[in-house]
Structure 1
């Protein structure tokens, strides 16, 4: 039952993430709000990359990020980031379809080489926190970046503030 809900949420939120990434103009990919922040292009690529992590999280009991390599492309090319996003969504969707309720309850661990970074903890908890909520967090940041650069934010849960203020 939980898996069914996660799958439905995944599909709905992929659409919202796609809208957000498509709203990013190439001209603003170098924008960053502070010295310690990512550029808009780096943040967009990170959001697209999280979908790749679904595979290691949902199909492996121990996911070693140091052993996993992903070609990401140029952070200053929004078309490349959108292509990365679409490719990673397909991989994530396949991993999600192979998941079972039983596997959601199994313990999962993330490592970076020999260092344990996260876990062990139930895979379902990791799916919510490390995957789903992680994307939502960074989408919120991207909304701030878009507004700070004077760009339109797409409505993801109904009209945006700007859209609702139209008369």
Structure 2
């Protein structure tokens, strides 16, 4: 369980920074690439991660699930999307810090209307982002682009027994 919101925000910031390392290796020409017509593009995934941060914040601030979407109005270039990601991260972390540790004992509703402890929703924020970062990693590899190693080494570089 999370005991200090500052501790959680620090962790969330690390997840965000690792996502931003991915943004640095995406060529502009791949922003609209997607594996099939019915899937999100790389740009869609990045805008979705950003907009979802605001959705999660809304759960805690207003008690409602509202999604701003991932349309190209939130950025068509890598620079615009990067700025949107940063802006949404700042809003989320500032909002959480403003609520303070009280958020950790608050109850909120899930999308299906079930009441849960807010810390459970807090835990889903990084899980959601990491899930989509994994998709981006796959998309990059399909396009022959090596994704960043989030902890510095490939598994092949780790000593074996």
Q: Do they superpose with TM above 0.5?
A: yes
2:26 aligned partner: 24
Give how far 1:58 is off.
Answer: 3.1
Structure 2: 5+ residue stretches without partners: none
Equivalent in the alignment of 1:126 = 121
Change (3 A) 1:98 1:51: same
Higher strand share: 1
Q: Which moves more between the two structures, 95-104 or 139-148? A: 95-104
Which residue does the alignment assign to 1:47? 49
Instruction: Report the Cα distance in structure 2 between the residues aligned to 1:104 and 1:151, rounded to whole angstroms.
Output: 40
CA distance in 2, matches of 1:81, 1:97: 24
User: What pairs with 1:78-157 in structure 2 (closer than 5 Å)?
Assistant: 78-109=78-109, 117-129=112-124, 131-157=125-151
| Post-superposition offset of 1:159 | 2.2
Instruction: Give how far 1:70 is off.
Output: 8.9
Query: How far is the alpha carbon of 1:138 from its aligned partner?
Result: 0.5
Q: How far apart are residue 20 of structure 1 and its match?
A: 1.3
SS in 2 for 1:83: helix
- For the 8 Å contact 1:57–1:127, the answer to whether it is kept is no
Cα deviation, 1:27-56, whole Å, max 9, x if unaligned, reads: 111211123311111112112222223421
DSSP-derived class of the 1:157 partner = coil
Residue 69 of structure 1: CA displacement? 8.1
State the aligned residue count: 156
Q: TM-score, normalised by structure 1?
A: 0.79
Partners of 1:92 and 1:124 lie apart in 2 by 15
Give me the TM-score of the superposition, normalised by structure 2: 0.81
Inter-CA distance 99–45: structure 2 relative to 1 (3 Å threshold): same
Instruction: Give yes or no for contact 2:103–2:118 (8 Å, CA) kept in 1.
Output: yes
